[in-house]
Amino acid sequence: MKYYILFGPPGAGKGTQATAMVEKYNLHHISTGALLRKEIAAGTELGRLAKGLIENGNLVPDEVVEGMIENEFNTVKGIDGFLLDGFPRTLPQAEALDNILKKSSEEVTATVSIMIPDEMIMERIKGRALKEGRADDASEDIINNRIATYHAQTEPLIDYYKSAGKYHEADGVGTIEEIRERIFSIMDKF
């Protein structure tokens, strides 16, 4: 099984590119953000816990998302691998992922990072807000908090995966097709 991590700041275009990646490489897309939004919409206990955190641009507790990931690994069959989108987002989550995979003698295949400069993040998210109406895309304060959370908690993962020789970066500036081709040329190596 292949285990790809789709990495990048909020608004880099991970969700957009994920669709083409799962189709071409027969992967199952796991977006922890989308799974959490589904829980919120269904009004579950987990959804109620996540709602306030997400709508303020904060992360939900590591154990919550780790449980969701392990559940998907154990239940989805008939694919060549998984595409993790929005997970891991903290160092403890990255370590937990390694431990979950170790249980079945598996490991992360590669981290594919879509990188855009900070100045583009706000503009991209505002564009998405018009289309998708996400509550956490609604105000500049919340977006700024997500950018700060990304720099403080998620960016250190770049060095974590670089040290493991598993970090691959695609320039996220360009057309959707150009960025998709850059990503495919990375993934074709695995």
Question: Residue 107 and residue 164: Cα distance in Å, rounded?
Answer: 11
Q: State which residue, 48 or 185, has the beta carbon closest to ligand AMP.
A: 48
Q: Which residues bind ligand AMP (CB under 6 A)?
A: 10, 32-33, 36, 53-54, 57-60, 65, 86-87, 89, 93, 136, 146
Q: State which residue, 37 or 189, has the beta carbon closest to ligand AMP.
A: 37
The C-alpha R_g of the chain, in whole angstroms, comes to: 16
Question: Residue 123 and residue 95: Cα distance in Å, rounded?
Answer: 32
Q: How far is the CB of 159 from ligand AMP (least distance, A)?
A: 18
Q: How far is the CB of 109 from ligand AMP (least distance, A)?
A: 18
Q: State which residue, 59 or 110, has the beta carbon closest to ligand AMP.
A: 59
Distances (CA, A) of 5 to 28, 77, 95, 136: 12, 18, 13, 23
Dihedrals phi, psi of 184, to nearest 5 degrees: -60, -40
* Run of H or E including 58: none
Give the catalytic positions in this structure.
14, 89, 128, 134, 146
Q: How far is the CB of 32 from ligand AMP (least distance, A)?
A: 3
